[in-house]
C-alpha cells in the first residue's frame, strides 16, 4: 500500500514505491489479461481545465484497460464547472462521484490544492509549467525497459532545458539512482536552472554541459530530446543562427552508439527529423505505450487503499500570499496560505513551490 | 414496474413510485456491489444541448456505477446534431441507439417534445427554467436520509424564490407529504409565484413569508439555500442594500438548531460563505452523492419495463400556437399544438405548461 | 479472417466479405446478447477531426454494444492533437493505445494516410467529399433486410447526384450485384459524374436518367433521397424554379409502389416532408439502426485477426505532388507521393484518388 494518497509530484513516491510501480507496469505489459478487471466498477474522473488530448487519452486508455470507467471534461469552454464554481467545490463534488481523479490545469499548484479537498486520490496530470509526474513516470518506465537499468546511464538532454518541466523532473528522479551522468545540451541561455544543478551536485550523479548535439552524441546511452520554442531565443537572428544545432537528424545520428535510445515527451514539432522515426534507436513512440502501462500501475496502486476519507482541514501558516502570478492561489482566494520556511526571508509556496520574499 | 415511461416532471411519478425510488436509492447506497451489473449492456444517451457538466457527470456516474455505458454530446457548438437537424429526427435516431435518454435543453418543453418521438424512455435533465426533476429527486433523497422523514418538516427556502425552478419543484413535491411547513425567505419582489402558494394552500401543508434569513433561522429543520442573481434586484442600490441579508455565514448560523440541515442545488457562488462548509450541518456536498444514488434508482426503474415501442402519433388539439417565446414549439415548428383547457379563455401548453389566452 | 486490415473504401472488402458482414450484422440483430462481450477489453478510438455527432454516436454505440470501450476526440478546436502534431505522429501514438481506429477528417485521403502509420486497423469514417464506406454499408444492410435481396432492384437516387459521395459509393457497391437498375433523378447539372456511369456500364447493371421525382416514382423498388444544397443551383431563380421538384411529400408518394422503401443517409433537412415519416415505406430512421449493426459486424471482423504490426514503410513512387488542394498530402508534407499510372499522362493519387496530369 502506498504511503501517499495523492501523487502531485513524482517525489511523493518513495524510491521503493517507484520501483514497485515500474515492476507492476512491466507485469501488466507481459500479462495484460491478468489485469483487465483490476479496476472493474471503479471510476476515473479526468478533469482537464486545458486541452491535452494526448495525456487525457493515455489516462483513459489506462483506466479502460483495467476494466474501469471514465467521467470528466476536456475543455473549460465546454464546461459549466469552471464557470463561477470554485475549484474546491468542483473537486469536493467530483471526489464524491469518482474513485480517483486526474487533474490538468494551466495554473501552478492546482493539483496540490485539489488534493486538499478531494475524498478520492488525486493525480497531477500537469499543473502549468510546474509538475507533470506521469510524464516522468513514462520516461522512467521506458528507460528501465529499453536500457535494462536505471543506474550508471549517460543521459543527454537536449533543447530548452531552462523551461522544460519534463527535463527538470526527469533529472530530479534519475538523480535518486546511482552513477547517472547528465549531458546538458543547450545554448547557455537555455541551460537548466541552478537549483537543478544543485540537486545533481548533492546526489551520487554528475553533469557536463555541451553546447552542441553533434559533439555530445558519441557519449550518450540515452538522448532525451525536447522542443525549443522559437520565442525562447534572444532574437530572430539568434534563432536562425542556432536553428538546426539542436535538431536531431540522420546525419547527427551517425555519431551515436548503436545501443543509444532516443526519447521525447511528444508532441514533436521539428526538433526530430521524420527520417529518424525509421531508425531502430527511436523509442519516442513506444515510450507512449510504456506511459500507458506506467499509468495503469500507478492507478492500481493508488486505488489499493480504498481510502475515501476527506483530508483534515489545513489552516494557513502565514499571513502572506504567494507572489507567483501563475500560482493557483492567485485566482482561488479561499485557499489557505501555506508555506514552508526556506531560510532567510524566503518562503516556499506549498502549492506551486514558488519563492516569496518576506 | 413504473406506470409512466418517461420522466419529464417529478409529478409524473406517483407518490408510491417516488417512495419506492427513494428506498431503492438507499438500498444501492448500502450495497452498491449488488447493483454494479444492474444495467450491464445498457446504454444511456446524455443529450446536452447546453453545457451542464455537473448534471451530466451525475448521470454518467450513475449509469457507469450500474455497469452501463454512455453515448451523447455535451455542447451544441461541438455537435453537428443540433445544426440543421430537427429535435424529432435526432431523438428518433438516438432512441434507436440508446436504451434510455437524458436530455438537457435551454428551451422549455423540450423533454416533453422528445418523449413524443423516442422509442426509449426519456429523462428530463433540465428544460430551460421549466423543470429539472432529478434535482428535486436529489433533494428528496437527501431529506429522507438526513432528516429520517419527509413529513412534518419546517423547510426554509432562501434566495430567488420567484425564478428558482428547483424551489418550485421542491415545494410541489414536498406538499404531497403531510404536515410540512415552508418558510419563504426572500425580498417581496422575489417571493414564490401565486400558483405555488395555491399548491401549498390546497395541500396538507402551510407556509409563512419571512424577509430575513437571520429571523427565520431558529424555526428551521431544513434550510434550502439558492442563489440570487445580481440582475434580479430592482436596482444596483437595492442590490447593495440587500446584499448580505440572504447570505449564509457562520454568524447567522448561530441562531440555527443543532439538528438543522443545509441544502443547496449547487453551484454555489457566494450565497454560502466557505466557512460554513466546515459546519456539520452543511449537507450540500453529500447532497450530490445522494443525487447520484437517486439517479441510479430512477434509471433502474425506468429500464425495468424494457419498453422500446415508439409512442403513438399525437395530433394537434387546437389551431393556436403557444405564446411562450421560450417554448420548444417556437423553434420546432412541426410539433403538434397540444393544449389542455384551463378554464375561461386559457390554454395550458402540453410542452412548457405556459398559458396562452385565446 | 478478412484479407484487408484497414477499411478505407468499401471496395477494400471482397464481395464475399461484404456478404459475410451483412450476415453477421443480421445475426447480431437477431441475438444481440450473444455478442455483448464480443469485444470486451478492446478499445475503439474515434478520431473526429471535424464534428459528426451522428456518425460518432453510431460507432460508439456499436463498440459499446459489443462490450468494448471508447477513447478519442470529437472536435479539432478542443483537441491539442490536431495542433502542431502531424497526423502521422497522432496515428502512431493512438494506434499504440487503441485496438481499432475510426477516423473522420475534412481532407480527402486522410484515412489512407492514417492506415499507413497505424499499428491497429483503421476504418474510414468519412474523409471530406471522398469516401464514407460505413454509410454505404448501412445502406446495403438496410436494403438486404428491407428488400430481401441485393439483386434485381430498381433503385431511384434523387437529389444532388453530382456531389453526393453516398450516392456514388452506393452505386459502385450495388453495381457489383446482378441486375440492378439505377434511376438517376436530378437536374442535368447535378447528375452523377461520367466515371460513375462508366462503372454502371461496365457492370451487369443499367441506368436511366429522369429529371422528375414524380415521373420516376412508379418504377422504383427503392428511393434513395439526398439533399440538394441551395448553393448547388446555378442561380437563385433556378433554385426557386426547381424547389419542390426533388422534395418527397405525401402527394408524390401516391405514385409509388406499396412495397417501395425510402432511404436517406440523414440528416434530412427539408427534402422529405415530415408527413412522410408516418408512411410505412419510410425506412430512413430504421436505416440508422441497421447501420449500427453493420458497424458492429465490421468492427468484429476487423478485430478478428488481432494484427497489431505496423505496416512496412511506403516509399514515394513519383516525384510529383497530388494537385488536389483538398488532398491530405497538401497539408501533411512528409507523406510519400504515391500514385498509380492511369494511362496517358494521368496519375491517380493513392490517398484521395484525385487525378494529376504530368
Residues A338 and A232 in one domain: no
pLDDT at position A78 is: 59
Flag whether pLDDT at A193 surpasses 80.
yes
Q: How far is A178 from chain C (nearest CA, A)?
A: 32
Is residue B311 assigned to a domain?
no
CB A288 to CB C313 under 8 A? Answer: no
Is residue B5 assigned to a domain?
no
CB B80 to CB C33 under 8 A? Answer: no
CB C65 to CB B88 under 8 A? Answer: no
CB C75 to CB B73 under 8 A? Answer: no
Average pLDDT rounded to a whole number, residues C178-191? 95
Share of chain A above pLDDT 70, in %: 98
Task: Give pLDDT tens digits for A28-72.
Answer: 999 999 999 999 999 999 999 988 889 999 999 999 999 999 999
CB C80 to CB A51 under 8 A? Answer: yes
Flag whether pLDDT at C261 surpasses 90.
yes
pLDDT at position C81 is: 61
Which strands sit side by side in the sheet containing A355-357, from one edge to the other?
A339-341, A346-349, A355-357
**Bond from prior residue into A334 cis (ω within 30 degrees of 0):** no
pLDDT at position C335 is: 97
More confident: A232 or B91: B91
CATH of the domain at A99: 3.40.50.1370
DSSP code at position C7: B
**Bond from prior residue into B66 cis (ω within 30 degrees of 0):** no
CB B51 to CB A96 under 8 A? Answer: no
Mean of per-residue pLDDT scores for chain A: 94
| Contacts of residue A331, Cβ cutoff 8 Å, sequence gap at least 6 | A107
Task: Give pLDDT tens digits for C49-79.
Answer: 988 889 999 999 999 999 999 999 987 665 6
pLDDT at position A67 is: 98
Residues A114 and A165 in one domain: no
Cell of B351: 410542452
| Contacts of residue C2, Cβ cutoff 8 Å, sequence gap at least 6 | C13, C17, C301, C302, C304, C305
Residue of B nearest to C275 (CA): B334
Is residue C153 assigned to a domain?
yes
Query: Is the CB of residue B96 less than 8 Å away from at least one CB of chain C?
Result: yes
Is residue B347 assigned to a domain?
yes
pLDDT at position B24 is: 98
Flag whether pLDDT at A148 surpasses 70.
yes
Flag whether pLDDT at A355 surpasses 70.
yes
CA dihedral (B183, B189, B194, B196) positive or negative: negative
How big is the A-B interface in CB pairs under 8 Å? 63
Q: How far is B72 from chain C (nearest CA, A)?
A: 7
pLDDT at position C133 is: 97
Q: Which residues of C touch B93 (CB under 8 A)?
A: 54, 266, 285, 288
In SS3 terms, B79-117 reads as: CCCCCCCCHHHHHHHHHHHCCEEEEEECCECHHHHHHHH
CB A80 to CB B285 under 8 A? Answer: no
Residues C94 and C231 in one domain: no
Q: Could you give the CA distance from residue B89 to residue B297 in angstroms, rounded to a whole number?
A: 29
Is residue B45 assigned to a domain?
yes
pLDDT at position A77 is: 64
Residues A277 and A294 in one domain: no
CB A89 to CB B33 under 8 A? Answer: no
Query: Is the CB of residue A64 less than 8 Å away from at least one CB of chain C?
Result: yes
Is residue A311 assigned to a domain?
no
Q: How far is B194 from chain A (nearest CA, A)?
A: 31
In SS3 terms, chain B reads as: CCCCCCECCHHHCCHHHHHHHHHHHHHHHHCHHHHCCCCCCCEEEEEECCCCHHHHHHHHHHHHHCCCEEEEECCHHHCCCCCCCCHHHHHHHHHHHCCEEEEEECCECHHHHHHHHCCCCEEEEEECCCCCHHHHHHHHHHHHHHHCCCCCCEEEEECCCCCCHHHHHHHHHHCCCCCCEEEEECCHHHCCCHHHHHHHHCCCCEEEEECCHHHHHHHCCEEEECCCCHHHCCCHHHHHHHCCCCCECHHHHCCCCCCCEEECCCCCCCCECHHHHHCCCECCCHHHHHHHHHHHHHHHHHHHCCCCCCCCCCCCCCCCCCCCCCEHHHCCCCCCCCEEECCCCEEEECCCCCEEEC
pLDDT at position A27 is: 98
Range list of β-strands (E), C20-178: 43-48, 69-73, 100-105, 122-127, 154-158
Q: Could you give the CA distance from residue A251 to residue A242 in angstroms, rounded to a whole number?
A: 17
Task: Give pLDDT tens digits for B107-148.
Answer: 999 999 999 999 999 999 999 999 999 999 999 999 999 999
Structural domain range at position C36: 10-128+290-303
Sequence-distant contacts of B341-350: CB under 8 A, at least 24 apart? B347/B318, B347/B320, B349/B109, B349/B322, B349/B324, B350/B109, B350/B112
Q: Out of A64, A285, A288, whose CB is closest to C69?
A: A64
pLDDT at position C230 is: 76
Residues A146 and A237 in one domain: yes
Residues A201 and A143 in one domain: yes
Q: Which residues of B touch A71 (CB under 8 A)?
A: 57, 60-61, 64
Query: Is the CB of residue C88 less than 8 Å away from at least one CB of chain A?
Result: yes
Query: Is the CB of residue C309 less than 8 Å away from at least one CB of chain A?
Result: no
| Contacts of residue C90, Cβ cutoff 8 Å, sequence gap at least 6 | C47, C81, C82
Q: Residue written as cell 426519456?
A: B122
Question: Lowest-confidence range among A173-182, A242-251, B84-93, B246-255?
Answer: A242-251
Is residue A4 assigned to a domain?
no
The residue from A225, A247, A281 where one domain ends is A281
Query: Is the CB of residue A81 less than 8 Å away from at least one CB of chain B?
Result: yes
Q: Could you give the CA distance from residue B146 to residue B281 in angstroms, rounded to a whole number?
A: 10
Q: From first to last of its 358 residues, what are the pLDDT tens digits of chain B?
A: 788 999 999 999 999 999 999 999 999 999 999 999 999 999 999 999 988 889 999 999 999 999 999 999 987 665 656 557 899 999 999 999 999 999 999 999 999 999 999 999 999 999 999 999 999 999 999 999 999 999 999 999 999 999 889 999 999 999 999 999 999 999 998 999 999 999 999 999 999 999 999 999 999 999 999 988 777 777 888 777 777 889 999 999 999 999 999 999 999 988 999 999 999 999 999 999 999 999 999 999 999 988 888 889 999 999 999 999 999 999 999 999 999 998 889 999 999 999 999 8
Which strands sit side by side in the sheet containing A100-105, from one edge to the other?
A69-73, A43-48, A100-105, A122-127
The total domain count for chain B is: 3
Q: How far is B94 from chain C (nearest CA, A)?
A: 8
CA dihedral (B99, B105, B111, B115) positive or negative: negative
Residues C116 and C215 in one domain: no
Flag whether pLDDT at A83 surpasses 70.
no
Find chains touching chain B: ≥3 CB pairs under 8 Å. Answer: A, C
Q: Which residues of B touch C286 (CB under 8 A)?
A: 96
Is residue A236 assigned to a domain?
yes
Task: Give pLDDT tens digits for C71-96.
Answer: 999 876 656 565 578 999 999 999 99
Residues A269 and A150 in one domain: yes
Query: Is the CB of residue B72 less than 8 Å away from at least one CB of chain C?
Result: yes
Q: Out of A51, A54, A74, whose CB is closest to C93?
A: A54
Residue of C nearest to A75 (CA): C78
Cell of B104: 438537457
Q: How far is C310 from chain B (nearest CA, A)?
A: 30
How big is the B-C interface in CB pairs under 8 Å? 64
Cell of C83: 495542433
Residues C27 and C122 in one domain: yes
Burial of C279 (0-12, 13-18, 19+ CB in 10 A): middle
Residues B144 and B123 in one domain: no
Average pLDDT rounded to a whole number, residues C187-212? 95
Q: Which residues of C touch A285 (CB under 8 A)?
A: 89, 92-93, 96
Q: Which residues of C touch A78 (CB under 8 A)?
A: 78
Residues A111 and A155 in one domain: no
Average pLDDT rounded to a whole number, residues C332-338? 96
Q: Could you give the CA distance from residue C344 to residue B196 in angstroms, rounded to a whole number?
A: 82
Residues A215 and A120 in one domain: no
Instruction: State the best of B63, B80, B92, B309 to mutate against chain C, taking most chain C CBs within 10 Å.
Output: B80
Instruction: State the best of B37, B69, B267 to mutate against chain A, taking most chain A CBs within 10 Å.
Output: B267
CB A289 to CB C78 under 8 A? Answer: no
pLDDT at position A242 is: 75
CB C89 to CB A57 under 8 A? Answer: no
Range list of β-strands (E), chain C: 43-48, 69-73, 100-105, 122-127, 154-158, 181-185, 206-210, 222-225, 261-263, 339-341, 346-349, 355-357
Amino acid at each position: 500500500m502506498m504511503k501517499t494518497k495523492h501523487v502531485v509530484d513524482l517525489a511523493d513516491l518513495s524510491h521503493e514505491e517507484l520501483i514497485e510501480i515500474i515492476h507492476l507496469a512491466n507485469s501488466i505489459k507481459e500479462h495484460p489479461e491478468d489485469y483487465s478487471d483490476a479496476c472493474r466498477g471503479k471510476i476515473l474522473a479526468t478533469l482537464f481545465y486545458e486541452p491535452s488530448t494526448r495525456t487525457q487519452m493515455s489516462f483513459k486508455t489506462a483506466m479502460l484497460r483495467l476494466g474501469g470507467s471514465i467521467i470528466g471534461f476536456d475543455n473549460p469552454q465546454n464546461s459549466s464547472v469552471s464557470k463561477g464554481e470554485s475549484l474546491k467545490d468542483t473537486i469536493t463534488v467530483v471526489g464524491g462521484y469518482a474513485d480517483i481523479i486526474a487533474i490538468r490545469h494551466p495554473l501552478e499548484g492546482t493539483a496540490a490544492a485539489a488534493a486538499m479537498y478531494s475524498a478520492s486520490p488525486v493525480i497531477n496530470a500537469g499543473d502549468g509549467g510546474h509538475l507533470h509526474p506521469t510524464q516522468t513516470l513514462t520516461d522512467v518506465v521506458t528507460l528501465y525497459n529499453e536500457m535494462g537499468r536505471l543506474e550508471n546511464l549517460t543521459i543527454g538532454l537536449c533543447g530548452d532545458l531552462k523551461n522544460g518541466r519534463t527535463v527538470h523532473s526527469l533529472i530530479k528522479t534519475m538523480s535518486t539512482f546511482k552513477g547517472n551522468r547528465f549531458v546538458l545540451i543547450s545554448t547557455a541561455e537555455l541551460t537548466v536552472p541552478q537549483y537543478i544543478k544543485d540537486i545533481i551536485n548533492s546526489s551520487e550523479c554528475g553533469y557536463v554541459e555541451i553546447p552542441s548535439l553533434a559533439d555530445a552524441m558519441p557519449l550518450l546511452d540515452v538522448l532525451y530530446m525536447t522542443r525549443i520554442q522559437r520565442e525562447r531565443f534572444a532574437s530572430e537572428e539568434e534563432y536562425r543562427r542556432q536553428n538546426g544545432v539542436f535538431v536531431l537528424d540522420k546525419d547527427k545520428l551517425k555519431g551515436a552508439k548503436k545501443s543509444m535510445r532516443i526519447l521525447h515527451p511528444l508532441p514533436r514539432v521539428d526538433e526530430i527529423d521524420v527520417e529518424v522515426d525509421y531508425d531502430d534507436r527511436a523509442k519516442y513512440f513506444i515510450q507512449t505505450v510504456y506511459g500507458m502501462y506506467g499509468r495503469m500501475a500507478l492507478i492500481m496502486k493508488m486505488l489499493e487503499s480504498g481510502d475515501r476519507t476527506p483530508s483534515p482541514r489545513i489552516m494557513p501558516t502565514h499571513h502572506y500570499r504567494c507572489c507567483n502570478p501563475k500560482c493557483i492561489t492567485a485566482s482561488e482566494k479561499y485557499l489557505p496560505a501555506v508555506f514552508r520556511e526556506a531560510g532567510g526571508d524566503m518562503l516556499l509556496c506549498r502549492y506551486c513551490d514558488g519563492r516569496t520574499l518576506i
